[in-house]
Amino acid sequence: MISSIIFIVVFLSAFAFFGFKILKIRRNILLGRNTDLSGNKGQRIKTMLMVAFGQSKMTARPIPFIMHFFIYAAFLITQIELIEIMIDGSTGQHRYIWHLVEGSFLGSIYTFTINFIEILSVLAFVATIVFLSRRNIIRLARFQKPEMKGWPSKDANIILFGEITLVTCIMLMNSSDVALQRLGVFHPTDTLIISRAIADLWAGIPKETLLIMERIGWWGHILGILGFMVYLPFSKHFHIFLAFPNTYFSNLLPKGQLTNLSAVTSEVKLMLDPTADPYAVPAPDQNAAPVKFGAKDVQDLTWKNLMDAYSCTECGRCTAECPANITGKKLSPRKIMMDTRDRLEQVGRNIDKHGKDHQDGKSLLFDHITEEELWACTSCNACVQACPVNINPLEIIIELRRDLIMEQSKAPSSINTMLNNIQNNGAPWQFSPQDRANWAQELNT
């Protein structure tokens, strides 16, 4: 009875806290500008099923794909066993579903499912060890970049050790049950392939100790899962939820197609086309807020850019493909996403403390992301292509650059020269338009 009450209190508290944090994250994402991504539902569902559910972009690196798939599949399928744990925890019973289906066809399905979970759990255990080794022993280059120092590296290790603990607890629980059954204490299913092998190790252990071991496994597993849930909103692992909406709202335009600023496009059209009708362009509304070009802070980005930031797994595939980063420039698209999320969290905390109109005098541009990083981008889209959850760091880079040029007239001298040349010569080079055909003169001699 007491254990059921403790279980229900812990369970409800964990869910309440998780829900509270989800609402905060939602509020933060909605601080972004509106953008209409409601169309193309069929295409969007297909993209989500392929990229998030089917993990299609992970296949570019087959071994990490297989390892990640073990963990992903184990996470999904273990939720089935969790249902029984929740029923047992709140009713004080043991293996409630098993007792319900014992001896029937459903009982065989139950046994098959638990066996399947055990096999996947062991594969996930192996995958987790491999992932820990890649980060801490092999020290893959993309996990050693400057933005991964400190908390991001700890966060990844905490989750991986958490997964090892979860699998260890579930195997301890199942194998202790099998050992107890061999002593005639319980009647859980005795056809768990892996647990039976582990239970051989428990031969000779007294019943009382086995009961404690089973309870440690049971409580360790459920507390581990609830702890994982509470921790997720503070971690990059929140992507296990956001990967689905984030891929649904993917940018479906061809890569490289930039969104134009309509106000600028109209002006340019009027300048370039002497026959253009100036009245075809609507006169600016004198009462409307002044048009702001680009983004200086997170509120100037779209909600999708902000959802991207919360969806980033910090895997570094984008940075590993980024030509600027590869050639030693300061730019890392992963850092762009991490900075955006950090700044958004900072803005969210300011709102919580001081109200929604509070200005802390800081901004994403300058305080988190520098001009040097922004101008190192070649806008090649390699990062967008590489991202396993369809995040688009380039969109954020372009918006921040737009702010630099259009709002602050701050561009590197090389770009200013090019812009002046376009304005004066109609071409990026420093030659008069009259001299444009000079190169052909030699052909006639």
Q: Which residues bind ligand SF4 (CB under 6 A)?
A: 312-318, 321-324, 331, 333-334, 337, 377-383, 386-387, 389, 391, 393-394
The nearer residue to ligand SF4, 337 or 344, going by C-beta atoms, is 337
- d(CA 225, CA 221) in angstroms, rounded, equals 6
- d(CA 14, CA 16) in angstroms, rounded, equals 5
- The DSSP bridge partners found for residue 369 are 365
The nearer residue to ligand SF4, 217 or 333, going by C-beta atoms, is 333
The nearer residue to ligand SF4, 147 or 190, going by C-beta atoms, is 147
Helix ranges restricted to H, 183-261:
193-199, 207-231, 239-248
- d(CA 19, CA 241) in angstroms, rounded, equals 13
CB of 143 to ligand SF4, least distance (A): 11
Cα separation of the two ends of the chain = 103
CB of 311 to ligand SF4, least distance (A): 7
CB of 245 to ligand SF4, least distance (A): 15
The nearer residue to ligand SF4, 11 or 65, going by C-beta atoms, is 65
CB of 438 to ligand SF4, least distance (A): 35
CB of 55 to ligand SF4, least distance (A): 13
The nearer residue to ligand SF4, 121 or 311, going by C-beta atoms, is 311
- d(CA 70, CA 390) in angstroms, rounded, equals 21
- d(CA 316, CA 144) in angstroms, rounded, equals 10
Contacting residues for 304 by C-beta, under 8 A, at least 6 apart: 32, 35, 37, 249, 251
**How is the chain split among helix, strand and coil, in percent rounded to 5?**
70, 0, 30
CB of 331 to ligand SF4, least distance (A): 6
The nearer residue to ligand SF4, 213 or 389, going by C-beta atoms, is 389
Measuring CA to CA, which residue among 394, 393, 386, 391 is closest to residue 64?
Answer: 386
CB of 40 to ligand SF4, least distance (A): 22
Q: Are 377 and 390 in contact (CB under 8 A)?
A: no
CB of 41 to ligand SF4, least distance (A): 24
- d(CA 39, CA 22) in angstroms, rounded, equals 25
DSSP 8-state symbol, 405 = I
The nearer residue to ligand SF4, 224 or 316, going by C-beta atoms, is 316
The nearer residue to ligand SF4, 172 or 382, going by C-beta atoms, is 382
Number of other CB atoms surrounding residue 429 within 10 Å:
12
